[in-house]
Amino acid sequence: MYLKEGCSLLLKVHKPSIPFVLNTNPIFNPIPQNDENYKNPMIVEEFEVLKRLKNQNDIGLALEYFKFIANSKSFKHTPLTYHMMIEKLGHKGEMDAVQYLLQQMKLEGVSVSEDILISVINSYRQAEAAEQALKTFYRIREFGCKPTVRIYNYLLDSLLSENKFLMINPVYGNMKKDGLEPNVYTYNMLLKALCKNNSLDGARKLLVEMSNKGCEPDKVSYTTIISFLCKQGKVKEATDLVLKFIPTVSVYNALINGYCKEGKVRETFKLLDEMVEKRVYPNVITYTTILNSLTDSGNIELSLAILAKMFVKGRSPNIHTFTSLIKGLSLKGRLLEALDVWDRMIKEGISPNEVTYNTLIHGFCLVGKMDKALSVLNQMERNSCNPNIRTYSILIDGFAKSGNLAGASEIWNKMISLGCRPNVVVYTCMVNVLCRNIMFNQAYGLIQSMVTQNCPPNTVTFNTFIKGLCDHGRVAWALELFDEMERFGCMPNVTTYNELLNGLYKFKNVKLAFKLVQDMEERGVEFNLVTYNTIIHGMSSAGMLEETLKLVGKMTVRGLKLDAWTFNILINAYSKLGKVEFAVQVLESMRKVGWHPDIFAYTSLICGVSERIGLEAASIHLSRMIDEGISPGISLWNFLVRYLLSKIGYGGAVDCMNDIFASKSDSKT
């Protein structure tokens, strides 16, 4: 299967800056020759220049006109025309040209106004270059401009947007030195900075400072603090704080979000009632926050009830509301209902966005309906909603899980053709599908190309490859890859070890598995339930029952509870070794801790009891199994037939099987 290389399509091209020279002869005259207003160049007015600059969408033509009008000596640029041009250039990210204009203003003695400097700071903010905004600010007096509270606020906002916390405090200090009193917007940005920097004490002190300065905190101030407390898991403290002031809907929303994250549904609904009592009416954000929490926890019915309540209260759901519902229904496999919600969303006049499309595509991929997923992709493209890297990763992962290399490759090639650069998730999905098709050399080649494409593999990529190798018996290669991980800058985690241990135990390499367990302990890799179950299964399969029981004891001492798989392994091990009385005890212990024996547990026990004691004793467990609604599988029937044939011959076996079938039929009746 041919995969397109991505490098030639994905090279970043440096965007050349727009050449900017004033006082030169223009190459062409952007003023139409038949324009009566420009026959006499001396009559050009400021409003005309502003109008032409505003209406010119092509930045190059706007710049040519700006240069021409300056060079024609028919008009001297004013602070307003400079502001207009600076704003247009900044919007396009042409910051070198913006700096040139600032310098030109300085040379011509045109003062830079507060609004112009704010435009420059905003442009740097959009370009994610807050430090450059700060450097420009420090030259403010060169341009004939004085610092103001507004300018400081925009500068602080720019620094905050990039989490430049170390720079924020000195700027605030300069503001005080300049004799400027912070306003509520200044304090709110400082509060946000302190909260984002996890400084709760600092935020509290700032609230006190606000009050002492006569600047009362507003809803933004309190919402910031409440949101931060909830994020820190201090929901009780946040609730107590709310009681000290008259809360607004945004404050309640922050508090509700905190309770939702902790899964406290009852408290959330109490808050909802409290809002109504205090005549603080829930908005679409309130309901969507609750609905999203409910869908994430799998409580779809209650989510649908919230949607119905929204309609009753006249709160129209937004795109996030519908997307949350579609996500919850899709994850539950209720795709028909998800499509009903989709149709309702369209009827409400809400167009799906990338997230909504991706959510529905993911739902179809989860149940293996790749044709439906592709039809949603086609609909997405027809509606001019461009697929993103998330869309492609979902589709490739869907094809990978079904082992469909052709489908995954087709999506990959489409993605590359459209200039969308694959990320580590997409690469990992492709490694998965290659491994499922036993194309390990190609998978290894893809990992190497990830490095050359400046998208290095991560631990998940290697875990995927190692699992593929172990599943197909290539454990030696998996161990080599394990040794190579650090060369690629990746450290093995508990999943890496689990996959290797599973592969080693599957092929009875207990000695090497033991060394790997020692390596885990030496590296301080914490065992999880999967690790213990893998080792327990491996050792019990090798007949090492004593060591298995010691490990189970160690597991419980560390506070890990046995799951159904652990119990099944122990029942199987005891049954195979003929210690059926212990197997029965384990099965009863399984019930006591809330796990119901499944077909695997009963099959192991019945086979063990039959061989050790006899069929009459085993039939008790067989009857119990049937009474609990568990039908014996083909492996158990095969065992029983072989057992009866060896013990009582063909005729007796037939009579006995008829009795079993009859009892099974009676129990169902």
- Per-residue pLDDT of 456-505, as tens digits, reads 999 999 999 999 999 999 999 999 999 999 888 899 999 999 999 999 99
- For the CA atoms of the chain, what is the radius of gyration? 35
* pLDDT at res. 500: 95
Which pTM value belongs to this model?
A: 0.70
Element (H, E) at 310: helix 300-312
- Per-residue pLDDT of 604-632, as tens digits, reads 889 988 888 888 888 888 888 888 888 88
Mean pLDDT of 535-545: 85
Confidence of residue 43 (pLDDT cuts 50, 70, 90): low
* pLDDT at res. 658: 58
* pLDDT at res. 16: 44
- Per-residue pLDDT of 576-598, as tens digits, reads 888 889 989 988 988 888 888 89
Where does residue 162 rank: exposed (0-12), middle (13-18), buried (19+ CB within 10 A)? middle
Give the whole-angstrom CA distance, residue 390 versus residue 325.
Answer: 19
Give the whole-angstrom CA distance, residue 559 versus residue 550.
Answer: 15
Confidence of residue 263 (pLDDT cuts 50, 70, 90): confident
Confidence of residue 119 (pLDDT cuts 50, 70, 90): very high
Confidence of residue 638 (pLDDT cuts 50, 70, 90): confident
Are residues 387 and 372 in contact, defined by beta-carbon separation less than 8 angstroms?
Answer: no
Confidence of residue 186 (pLDDT cuts 50, 70, 90): very high
Mean pLDDT of 64-84: 86
> What mean pLDDT is reported for the chain?
86
Query: Residue 348: which residues within 8 A CB-CB, separation 6 or more?
Result: 316, 317, 322
* pLDDT at res. 8: 28
* pLDDT at res. 381: 93
Give the whole-angstrom CA distance, residue 410 versus residue 402.
Answer: 15
Confidence of residue 21 (pLDDT cuts 50, 70, 90): very low
* pLDDT at res. 640: 76
* pLDDT at res. 654: 54
Distances (CA, A) of 547 to 472, 527, 544, 576: 28, 17, 6, 16
* pLDDT at res. 19: 45
* pLDDT at res. 548: 84
Give the whole-angstrom CA distance, residue 571 versus residue 584.
Answer: 8
Confidence of residue 515 (pLDDT cuts 50, 70, 90): very high
Give residue 231's identity as a one-letter amino acid code: K
Give the whole-angstrom CA distance, residue 423 versus residue 455.
Answer: 7
